Structure 1
Amino acid sequence: MSSPSGISVPTPPGPSPQSISQGTSMQLSARSVRSMNEESQIISAKDIYDAVCSGKSAMVTVVDEWLDSYKRSREAGLLVLINFIVQSCGCKGVVTRKMFDSMQNAEIISTLTKEFNEDSVNYPLCTPGPQLKRFKAGLCEFARVLVRSCRNSLVYDEYLFPSLLALLTGLSDSQVRAFRHTSTLLAIKLMTGLVEVAVVVSVQLQTTQQQYNTENSKRAHDRASDRLEELQATVRELRENREELSSMMNATFRGVFVHRYRDQLPEIRAVCIEELGLWLKMDPEDFLNDGCLKYLGWTMHDKVYTHREDKKYKIVYVH
């Protein structure tokens, strides 16, 4: 197969330059997410952003606090994550609840693009100095902890991750470098987390299926009917979970990776190919095929020397 199998999650297309220029004229509220959320005691986008900037140590606590708020109100919780992403891109705009409720992703991105300071070439992921390394590490750690904290429940709620990945897919197609770079990194890192979960689920499914087959192969009077029904229900649940994971992985692979692995920005190309190397190692059954290996083949012709050398290491490591 040319990409991970599964049913695709509907992903709104990223905005074209024309759609961005013709976007809505709605002005963003000057009210911050923190002031919006203090009334309902929901962790703010700034709280998460500050944790990312400070490093990895507080990430689990911050994600746990955010999960508590998401469980109280999934819409409010998702809005906090959206504004955290916006802030991580270096954009001063804010997605209000009214925008969240009434606008599609492309409209939101168009509005945020108008609020972006195009004269500034700096954004958190390209800030010179040690702050860049710390922020990037924190952002990657946030994605890892988020998936790991949701792996047994919320990753399957058919709302949080499909919604988050759909927005990131749209942002990754933006003409604004800060949006494109930051969203690609987050989307690809989230996918790595999903691949890790999918591998575990696949092993659990295989083991449970074998247990079911063993029990079912017994003579009728030796079978434990309750045990058989329990195993059958578990197999069904694990299959559904694996299909849901494959759906999100497939949508991210086709919606983000396929379009960004040849991006004009070397840093974006690098993260795509580096993570593909991890996917090949973690889940060879789904990724070690001609359809995926062709992307590694193309990178050998990459003219950016340092980027090519980095990927050669990854290719050797995988094989």
Structure 2
Amino acid sequence: LGKNSVQTAVEEWVQSYKEDRELALLDLISFFVQCCGCEGMVTAELYQSNEGKNVVHKMTEKFDQETGLYYKKFLAYPWILTIMWPEKLQSDFYPIVGPGPFWKRFRVNFCEFTELLVHQTHSSVLCDGHLMDTVIGMLSGLTNSAVYSLRHTSSLAAMKLLTALASVNQGICTGRRTAQRLYEIESITKLKGRHKYYMELLDQRRHQFQNKPVAIDNIICALFKRTFVPRYRDISSDIRVICMGELGCWVRLYPDLFLDNNYLKYIGWMLYDKDASVRMKCILALKALYEKRESAMKLGLFFYKFKKRILSMTQDRQPEITSECMQLLRLISEHYVGVFSAMEYVFLFQFVYAAYRPMATAAGELICKRLLAPPPHEGFFAQEPPDEFDRNLQNMKALIDFYLQGEFHRHVPYLVDGLWEAAPALVRNW
């Protein structure tokens, strides 16, 4: 399927949902189950409210040796769903991990379908109290499965769904603030006629945005608690990578909600993960946040809580992580005054001698920012800034002092190589 085909499929499903809600939801559930590689049968029975707590005991997942089928029963309100599939589903192949360009494209289309489902319904049926309740119940049941293909595929769908919800709600919040600002500006003017009509339009627009962000926030929180929280520590590193990668997207897309220690703590905790790809996702997520001053200023408490761990990751077993971590620390040093002690800077500067060139270059950039930068000129009567020769002379003296005070007196080529990209005017024209 191409992008237009996925768009058409979503539009057709939304139309069918408006015509027959129950039938469309069952089709959607069957679609997600089949995308998990399950060729079995999905049956649904209406949930009876008088069952009360007994319904919990019906939520099972077991293997029937006589029939050779797996059974999974779980609640996706208003139904109790039962999925049956043959034992062969336990194999390593299922659609989103299939080899070759066809299955890679399938994964892209699957993610795109999930995201478009939100974008196509947010202005109509997304918050009808039925669609997302059923979808959340279905994904929650599948992500808790012991069968890896079900758990992996549904976790990917849930995380992509959260990404789309975060993107949509941030857009709504931005529109609400814009409408409120325009309304306040127009209310200051005392014009008549057309102005009154325009004020009524702005007021209607304000009220359109009034309750929707809260409703979508409730959906986000419910989906987050029922899918992300159980899965971010999954035994599979692939699922943990998906969770951390998408969490980084949510914080960037929807900082109004996610740029908060209640969500950032998961990134901090997973910096200790045993899998290098998970740790890398966490570092990259933090780098993206510290590249923007607005978000960096809200991360002070987070950094001081995980500062020791981030510093230690400059000695990670994976060299790619060490260089990304050094770049992160450079960004942090640019935003916070006095964030590192003199001893911590000495510790970081020594990595300019690293044999891994990206790490040495990243350390060289930190040296240029913190050690070789010209001193600031304060006051109204500050002297003229030094010319390029004087500035290079000052920096060369500082660099020689750094070299002599270090313990790597036989590693001059490493020092020059580390500064080659960061300070070309200094080391290439000495």
Q: Which residue of 1 aligns with 2:252?
A: 281
Q: 1:238 & 1:94 partners in 2: Cα distance?
A: 41
Q: 2:23 & 2:231 partners in 1: Cα distance?
A: 30
Q: Which residue of 1 aligns with 2:261?
A: 290
Deviation at 1:124, TM superposition (A): 1.7
Which structure would you say has the larger Rg? 2
| SS of residue paired to 1:303 | coil
Distance 1:56 1:224, change over 3 A: closer
Bigger shift: residues 291-300 or 212-221:
212-221
- Does the 8 Å contact 1:79/1:100 carry over to 2? no
Q: Which residue of 2 aligns with 1:70?
A: 17
Q: Which residue of 1 aligns with 2:131?
A: 160
Alignment of 1:132-147 (within 5 A): 132-147=103-118
Q: Which residue of 2 aligns with 1:94?
A: 41
Higher relative contact order (CA 8 A, sep 6+): 1
- Does the 8 Å contact 2:179/2:206 carry over to 1? yes
Q: Which residue of 1 aligns with 2:85?
A: 115
Q: Which residue of 1 aligns with 2:222?
A: 251
Q: Which residue of 1 aligns with 2:380?
A: none
Q: Which residue of 2 aligns with 1:208?
A: 179
User: How many residue pairs were aligned?
Assistant: 264
Bigger shift: residues 225-234 or 136-145:
225-234
Alignment of 1:219-234 (within 5 A): 228-234=199-205
Distance 1:125 1:229, change over 3 A: same
Q: 1:245 & 1:116 partners in 2: Cα distance?
A: 37
Bigger shift: residues 266-275 or 62-71:
62-71
TM-score normalised by structure 1 residue count: 0.73
Q: Which residue of 1 aligns with 2:273?
A: 302
Deviation at 1:109, TM superposition (A): 4.1
Distance 1:222 1:67, change over 3 A: closer
Q: 2:208 & 2:41 partners in 1: Cα distance?
A: 38
Opposite residue 69 of structure 1, the aligned amino acid is S
Of 234, 242, 261, which aligns to 1:263? 234
Q: Which residue of 2 aligns with 1:58?
A: 5
- Does the 8 Å contact 2:118/2:164 carry over to 1? yes
Q: Which residue of 2 aligns with 1:7?
A: none
Q: Which residue of 2 aligns with 1:315?
A: 286
Alignment of 1:164-183 (within 5 A): 164-183=135-154
Q: Which residue of 1 aligns with 2:308?
A: none
**Identity between Structure 1 and Structure 2 (%):** 34
Deviation at 1:57, TM superposition (A): 5.0
Partner deviation per Cα, 1:244-285 (whole Å, 9 max, x = no partner): 110111111111111111111111111111011111111222
Distance 1:226 1:306, change over 3 A: closer
Bigger shift: residues 56-65 or 117-126:
117-126
Q: 1:182 & 1:90 partners in 2: Cα distance?
A: 9
**Ranges in structure 1 where 5+ consecutive residues have no aligned partner:** 1-50
Distance 1:224 1:306, change over 3 A: closer
| SS of residue paired to 1:115 | strand
Q: Which residue of 2 aligns with 1:22?
A: none
Bigger shift: residues 159-168 or 308-317:
308-317
Q: 1:164 & 1:289 partners in 2: Cα distance?
A: 26
Partner deviation per Cα, 1:120-142 (whole Å, 9 max, x = no partner): 34322233444442222111111
Opposite residue 77 of structure 1, the aligned amino acid is A
**Ranges in structure 2 where 5+ consecutive residues have no aligned partner:** 49-54, 61-70, 74-80, 291-430
Distance 1:239 1:106, change over 3 A: farther
Q: Are 2:98 and 1:127 aligned?
A: yes
| SS of residue paired to 1:92 | coil
Q: 1:216 & 1:78 partners in 2: Cα distance?
A: 45
